[in-house]
Amino acid sequence: MAVPPDLRKNTVVVTDSPNLIKNWQLKFNAQQHLEEVIRIYQASYRGGLVEFENSITRYNPINILQVRKIDKQGMQQEFDSSSLDNGHIAALLAIWASHKIATAYGVMSNQVQKEDDIDRAMLPFSI
């Protein structure tokens, strides 16, 4: 799947199949990243950084995450597999990717950020 040239500057390709996709920027491996993806989603959601348009609210991962157990390591969650579909995974990965990119940019950027630089409508990501 090619990204049109006019959209490449603002596009990040996330894949779980790097051998099949050209020009990807972020590789997702469920065994390595799934807990992190869920943790970042929940922190972003609690922080008010996640908002879904009405047309895609059915893909909000909050609807399919269930508490499996709570122990000394914290809350363990799992997906309701009967309701899970690719839209939920796409939403989770978009939020995870935006967090990774924002973190990397913050570490690598030497610029001092001003309040006017922050676009609240697009923070941290738009789906």
Domain contains 23? no
Residue 76: inside a domain: yes
Is 50 within a domain?
A: yes
More confident residue, 88 or 75: 88
The answer to whether residue 7 sits within a structural domain is no
Q: Is the pTM of this model over 0.95?
A: no
Instruction: Give me the domain span that covers residue 42.
Output: 30-104+122-127
Helix (H, G, I), strand (E, B) or coil at 8: helix
According to DSSP, the β-strands at 65-71 and 74-79 are: antiparallel
> Which pLDDT score is estimated for 117?
62
pLDDT tens figures, 5-64: 787 788 888 999 989 988 888 999 999 999 899 999 999 998 999 999 999 999 999 989
pLDDT digits (tens, 9 = 90+) for 101-115: 888 766 666 666 666
**12 domain residue, yes or no:** no
Q: Is residue 25 part of a domain?
A: no
Handedness of CA 84, 30, 73, 61 (dihedral sign): negative
| Any domain includes 92 | yes
State the total domains in the chain. 1
Q: 26-27 and 14-15: which strand pairing?
A: parallel
